[in-house]
Structure 1
Amino acid sequence: MKFISGTTDFKLHNSAVTLGKFDGLHKGHQILIHKIIELAGKGYQSVMFTFSYHPSNLFTNKEIGLIYTEMEKRHQLEKSGLDVMISYPFTKETASMEAEQFIKEVLIDKMDAKVIVVGSDYHFGYERKGNIELLEKLSEQYNYELIVFDKIESHNQVIGSTSIREEIKKGNMETVHELLGRPYSIIGEVLHGRKLGRTLGIPTTNLIPEEDKLLPPNGVYASKTIIDGKSYEGVTNIGYKPTVGADPRVGVETHMFDFNEDVYGKIIEVELYRLERGETKFQSIDELKAQMEKDIVFAKDYFRDYQN
């Protein structure tokens, strides 16, 4: 997959393009992406276009945590068969571009879009004045086909990034799994930790999430870790590890069952399946170890029942 980021200077040809924020790459997004990959089989170049920074963050003081950061999004899409991912700079200049100007200068001149695939609520351009009606109106003039997909629902609610964020904040990982169409996950490089888990006979991997990553509540989760394409069941703690001297940044610490390889420096993906308990400060290391052993039993029981 070709990745274009941080520049407006590029030229593509004969593209089938899907456009959106694509935060979460949820089930609705997957329909759009699968469509352009299907069109690639007919000779088009499949292109996913998004902005490099969540648009809401540019004009407000409120930071919006991302379900998948740009790095994580790229990691997920590398496995999809997509030809090109564009992470377009979102600046005052690009935000002020009128909708028809965006169609002509970006979709047509830069991407040579022959097919445009969007959701029914897609808006774009200055003050979000562009919509599917405008795309339809200009399709003949600019010689492209427009394909529009309706929103999809799950459990009587429309699948969207806003509702998924709310479920993540509540720690409802099974609901998040259903809405995303995959487990919520955190991707990052394995870093050296304090090695306390190893001294307790419960070795762990440690990674620090990116700052703009939306995390669920601090606590302990049944998890699976993907390393070099293989999946390992385990248990993950998200938090500051208050019992052993609180860390300044939230970390993701995972114990994988029956796994004791050196993975320092590797990029791993930690999938969260179910919240067991919140993060707790224990009175002693022995009390912490006893709870960790209970956490392991919880996760093993969960995955045994999950697979039956």
Structure 2
Amino acid sequence: MEYIAGRTDFHLEKSAVTLGKFDGLHLGHQLLLNKITEQKKKGLNAVVFTFLYHPVNLLSDREMELIYTEEEKQHILEEYGVDVMISFPFTEETRSMEPEKFIEDILIHKMDAKYIAVGSDFCFGRNRRGNTKMLEEYASVYGYELEIIEKKKYERKELTTADQSAICNGSKCERKEISSSCIREQIGKGNMEKVIKLLGRPFSVRGEVLHGRKIGRTIGFPTTNLLPDKTKLLPPDGVYITLTNIDGQEYPGITNIGHNPTVGVTPEKRVETYLFDYDNDLYGKFIQVSFLERMRGEEVFHSLDELKAQMDKDLAYGRKYFHKEVEI
């Protein structure tokens, strides 16, 4: 997949384009991805157009934590068969661009859009004046095909009573739109099972395995250490049941997110994973840790022996979890 980031000097030919923030690449976004990859059968290139930085970062003083970083987003889009990912620079100039100019300069001249798929609420250009109606009006002018996709919704009947309470906030709606903000909220609560239902796959952290303090190794629990980007949204500190992808193979394990208060607080939050029955050297490798269930919060223990005793319990619970999954 070609990755074009932070620059405007590009030119594509015969593109099937979808546009949006794509924070989370959830089930709703996947509908759009499926539409553009289907167009590859017609000889078009599947192109995802988004912005290099989340637009909220420009519009406020706070830095938005992202469900997926740029590198993680690239990896997921490549798996979906996308040919080109464009992370366009979101500047004051971009923000103030008139929507008509965006269609002519960006969609037509730079991307040669022959097919465009967008969500029904898609807006663009100065003061968000551009919308699906404007795209429809210009379709005949520039000769592109436009497909507008309704927002993906989940059915209340597909959720447990607890899920309905957590996700629908007690409302009586039968169908509710899947959104990045809803997913972000559930990640923030550590509701990883609910995140899977909304995201369409487990929430994950991808990165390079770094050297840690190797304290886990001294008590019989060697771990892989990831140091997530500061913009990466993470679940609450605690211990999770996880699957780790290494060179295309998935390995079960348990993962701690936090600052390791028992053995000396680390200045940065770390993602440390103990893999069941795996002892190969992973330093320098890129791995992906997917979160399935939150077991408990991060705790302070009075000694390494207490920590080891709790980790033995965590390990037993984790093995039982995966044994149960195999039986099902």
Aligned length: 308
Give the Cα separation in 1 of the matches to 2:146 and 2:200. Answer: 25
Once the two structures are superposed, the pairs formed by residues 153-232 of structure 1 within 5 Å of their partners are 153-154=153-154, 155=156, 156-232=175-251
Distance across 2 between alignment mates of 1:279 and 1:205: 17
For residue 73 of structure 1, report the CA deviation from its aligned partner. Answer: 0.2
Deviations 1:135-187 (A, max 9, x none): 00111111111001101112432111010000000100011011111100001
Paired letter, 1:185: S
1:34 maps to which residue?
34
Measure how far apart 1:262 and its partner are.
0.3
Amino acid at match of 2:8: T
Q: CA deviation at 1:245?
A: 0.3
1:1-308 matched pairs, under 5 angstroms: 1-154=1-154, 155=156, 156-307=175-326, 308=328
Could you report, residue by residue, the CA deviation over 1:216-257 in whole angstroms, capped at 9, with x for unpaired residues?
100000000000000000000000000000000000000000
CA distance in 2, matches of 1:153, 1:301: 33
Q: Note the residue ranges of structure 2 that are not aligned, 5 or more in a row.
A: 157-174
Encode CA deviations 1:174-211: one digit per residue, 9 max, x unaligned: 11011111100001110000111111111110000111
Instruction: Give the aligned residue type for 1:48.
Output: V
Distance in 2, Cα, partners of 1:241 & 1:147: 50
Residue identity over aligned pairs, in percent, reads 57
In structure 1, the residue corresponding to 2:94 is in which secondary structure? helix
Counterparts of 2:252 and 2:3, CA distance in 1: 31
Consecutive unaligned residues of structure 1, counting only runs of 5 or more, are: none
- TM-score (normalised: structure 1): 0.98
The one-letter amino acid paired with 1:113 is A
In structure 1, C-alpha distance between the alignment counterparts of 2:134 and 2:204, rounded to whole Å: 36
Question: C-alpha root-mean-square deviation of aligned residues, in Å?
Answer: 0.9
Q: Name the aligned partner's letter for residue 302 of structure 1.
A: Y
Comparing 132-141 and 153-162, the one that deviates more: 153-162
Amino acid across the alignment from 1:166? E
Counterpart residue identity of residue 316, structure 2: V
Bigger mean CA deviation after superposition, 152-161 or 189-198: 152-161
SS in 1 for 2:110: coil
Give the deviation of 1:6 after TM superposition. 1.1
- The one-letter code matched in structure 2 to 1:33 is L
Aligned-pair CA distance for 1:62: 2.4
Alpha-carbon distance between aligned partners in 2 of 1:151 and 1:306, rounded to the nearest angstrom: 32
Structure 1 CA distance, aligned partners of 2:5 and 2:278?
Answer: 36
Distance 1:306 1:274 in 2: 13
Return the letter of the residue paired with 2:271: V
Moved more, 16-25 or 292-301: 292-301
Structure 2 residue matching 1:109: 3-state secondary structure: helix
Tell me the alpha carbon deviations over residues 116-143 of structure 1, each in whole angstroms, 9 at most, x when there is no partner: 0011111111111111011001111111
